[in-house]
């Protein structure tokens, strides 16, 4: 039963001049169960009916014929509060889950539509540091969320594999680099010579000119320049892929900035033909002064391309290739202006799909020790952070449960899950400070807490050793307050997936499964499950199975493994 819809129909009996969809949109879930299961605020209707909200609510309640699925309807301070029959409520939600099982919460609303998600996108030859974590895990989660709603998710790792920084790296390698050291130490060595370049260039600015010359050679197809660039790229990808494997993140395309080299001239020509280009000090720009933005730089005075050129070209290519419903870009909040500028250029080019381009900004991540900077060499490598999370989890397991089966695997899944969850439970726009004490806490609002709750539910079901499809369920036995609270949260889960997709915010799911874990642990404390009374035992097992199903699904949508034992 869709309770919101059914309650909206009940309200429309006495408020017939308001559209059903508007009534549905106004229905709320009260923060306190004593205020009802659903509430309808009448404040917005005061002007329409020329009456006080209290009077509207009282008159509406007096004119409603109460259906069987509602126990009570009350008018309180301008709200109409509905108390659902708890047996009907439990039966409606749990029977739907028991029928759908692992598909509960999924839908096909996106069937036949493509969503392109551009995430992670680290720079080649630079360390894959903890600052890249947010784009990677937010994108990985949104990829799974859209897939759960029936969309065809297309994950793109738009690698930073082009630009002046490669000119700098070539200069640095030729002056101070060693092939053997780079083969042996990988990105760490590349970073060292890159940092040295910046330090030396402060004293000798001519190094910057040399770097620009080498990048111009790359763009012109110089064999030596491209050979070095390809080598840097191979070394970087080898290291990146180790991290992606740990995070269980994959992509459908690794088409980075260099992929668009032979496609940019046509776009620059199109901009010119559409009379959008202006010359400014030898560079070519699109003037955006009329929308209070700085000009969008398309080519430098030496003719080389920029981020905006490549992003515009990539967007046109992606629309032609994937015909996307949405093209989502997950990058730091600091890039807001960049995206606003080139989105505006796409609009001025006359493309009616400009409004399907979406920038999903996020706040910065920092360690308790301070901010990160590649140029200064002050970085925490993501691979090292993940390995440290695994090691610290292993120590906790050795202390608390040394005989646990497959404890190395459990340590990996809990340690990495903890890092991912710590990122995704935060509203993405907030800055995140990384703290080990908080991340690996098994009692707080953390990944390990949710994974442990899932393992607890799994343990109960293992001990019961019962076929879920054979349970003899009496839903009237699930009407105590702790059972009802769990059932409410199970019922809200499909809406949380939709909300996470609509607002491009995985934290809705992370927060929800923490709330469900807390409610389940209270239920577990209040209600013995494996009791003699078969009907009571089966009814409570149905609830345990439902919680386990939602926790496993929610963890999966965040990119985290649900464990059977911990």
Q: Take residue 281 and report the two structure tokens written for it.
A: 């000090």
Indicate the pairing of strand 70-76 with strand 79-84: antiparallel
Query: What is the rounded CA–CA span in Å between residue 468 and residue 427?
Result: 36
Q: Are 243 and 387 in contact (CB under 8 A)?
A: no
Distances (CA, A) of 259 to 160, 310, 389, 557: 11, 9, 35, 30
Backbone angles phi, psi at 187, to 5 degrees: -60, -30
Select which of 4, 51, 126, 275 is catalytic. Answer: 126
Length of the chain, in residues: 566
Distances (CA, A) of 270 to 44, 216, 264, 266: 50, 23, 10, 6
Indicate the pairing of strand 365-367 with strand 357-362: unpaired
Q: Are 313 and 298 in contact (CB under 8 A)?
A: no
Residue 155, strand partner residues: 117
Query: What is the rounded CA–CA span in Å between residue 61 and residue 81?
Result: 9
Q: What sign for the dihedral angle of Cα 263, 269, 272, 278?
A: positive
Backbone angles phi, psi at 526, to 5 degrees: -80, -25
Residue 512 annotated as catalytic? no
Q: What is the 3-state secondary structure (H, E, C) of 316-343?
A: HHHHHHHCCCEEEEEEEHHHHHHHHHHH
Q: Are 304 and 293 in contact (CB under 8 A)?
A: no
C-alpha count within 13 angstroms, C-beta hemisphere, residue 2: 8
Residue 129 annotated as catalytic? yes
Burial class of residue 363 (count of CB atoms within 10 Å of its CB; 0-12, 13-18, 19+): middle
Q: CB neighbours of 59 closer than 8 A, spacing ≥ 6?
A: 14, 51
Query: What is the rounded CA–CA span in Å between residue 401 and residue 372?
Result: 36
Please spell the DSSP secondary structure of 506-562, one letter per residue.
THHHHHHHHHHHHHHHHHHHHS--S-S-HHHHHHHHHHHHHHHHHHHHHHHHHT-PP
Closest listed residue to residue 97, CA positions, set 501, 493, 528: 493
Residue 354 annotated as catalytic? no
Reduce the DSSP state of residue 50 to 3 states and report it: coil
Tally Cβ neighbours within 10 Å of residue 291.
Answer: 11
Select which of 4, 9, 129, 496 is catalytic. Answer: 129
Query: What is the rounded CA–CA span in Å between residue 26 and residue 12?
Result: 12
Tally Cβ neighbours within 10 Å of residue 33.
Answer: 13
Backbone angles phi, psi at 79, to 5 degrees: -110, 145
Select which of 86, 132, 158, 319 is catalytic. Answer: 132
Residue 253, strand partner residues: 156
Q: Tell me which residues are annotated as active site.
A: 126, 129, 132
């Amino acid at each position: 039963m869709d309770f919101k819809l059914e309650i909206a129909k009940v309200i429309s009996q006495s408020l017939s001049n308001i559209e059903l969809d508007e009534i549905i949109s106004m229905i709320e879930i009260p923060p306190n169960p004593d205020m009802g299961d659903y509430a309808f605020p009448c404040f917005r209707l005061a002007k329409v009916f020329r009456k006080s909200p209290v009077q509207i609510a009282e008159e509406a309640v007096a004119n409603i014929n109460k259906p069987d699925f509602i126990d009570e309807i009350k008018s309180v301070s301008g709200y109409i509060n509905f108390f659902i029959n708890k047996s009907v409520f439990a039966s409606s939600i749990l029977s739907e889950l028991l029928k759908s099982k692992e598909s509960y919460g999924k839908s096909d609303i996106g069937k036949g539509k493509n969503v392109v998600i551009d995430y992670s996108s680290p720079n080649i030859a630079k360390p894959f540091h903890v600052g890249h974590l947010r784009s990677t895990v937010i994108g990985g989660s949104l990829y799974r969320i859209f897939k759960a709603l029936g969309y065809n998710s297309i994950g793109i790792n738009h690698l930073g594999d082009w630009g002046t920084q490669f000119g700098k790296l070539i200069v640095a390698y030729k002056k101070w680099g060693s092939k053997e050291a780079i083969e042996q130490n990988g990105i760490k060595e590349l970073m060292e010579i890159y940092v040295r370049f910046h330090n030396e260039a402060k004293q000798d600015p001519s190094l910057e000119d040399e770097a620009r010359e080498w990048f111009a050679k790359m763009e012109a197809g110089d064999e030596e320049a491209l050979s070095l660039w390809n080598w840097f790229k191979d070394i970087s990808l080898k290291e990146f892929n180790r991290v992606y494997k740990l995070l269980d993140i994959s992509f459908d395309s690794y088409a980075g900035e260099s992929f668009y080299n032979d496609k940019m001239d046509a776009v620059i020509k199109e901009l010119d033909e559409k009379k959008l280009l202006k010359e400014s000090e030898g560079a070519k720009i699109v003037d955006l002064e009329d929308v209070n933005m700085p000009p969008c730089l398309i080519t430098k005075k030496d003719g080389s391309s920029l981020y905006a050129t490549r992003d515009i070209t990539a967007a046109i290519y992606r629309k032609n290739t994937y015909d996307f419903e949405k093209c989502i870009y997950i990058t730091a909040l600091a890039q807001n202006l960049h995206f606003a500028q080139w989105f505006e250029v796409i609009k001025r080019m006359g493309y009616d799909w400009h409004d399907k381009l979406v920038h999903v900004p996020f706040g910065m991540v920092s360690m308790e020790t301070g901010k990160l900077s590649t140029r200064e060499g002050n970085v925490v490598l993501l691979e090292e952070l993940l390995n440290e999370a695994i090691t610290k989890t292993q120590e906790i397991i050795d202390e608390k449960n040394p005989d646990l089966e497959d404890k190395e695997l459990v340590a990996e899944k809990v340690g990495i899950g903890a890092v991912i969850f710590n990122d995704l439970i935060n509203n993405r726009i907030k800055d995140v400070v990384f703290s080990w004490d908080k991340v690996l806490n098994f009692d707080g609002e953390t990944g390990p807490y949710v994974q442990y709750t899932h393992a607890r539910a799994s343990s109960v079901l293992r001990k019961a050793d019962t076929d879920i499809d054979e349970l003899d369920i009496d839903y009237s036995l699930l009407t105590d307050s702790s059972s009802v609270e769990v059932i409410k949260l199970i019922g809200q889960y499909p809406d949380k997936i939709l909300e996470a997709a609509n607002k491009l915010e995985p934290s809705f799911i992370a927060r929800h499964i923490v709330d469900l874990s807390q409610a389940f642990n209270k239920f577990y404390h209040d209600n013995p499950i494996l009791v003699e009374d078969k009907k009571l035992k089966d009814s409570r097992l149905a609830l345990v199975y439902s919680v386990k199903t939602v926790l496993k699904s929610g963890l999966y949508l965040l990119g985290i493994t649900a464990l059977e034992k911990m």
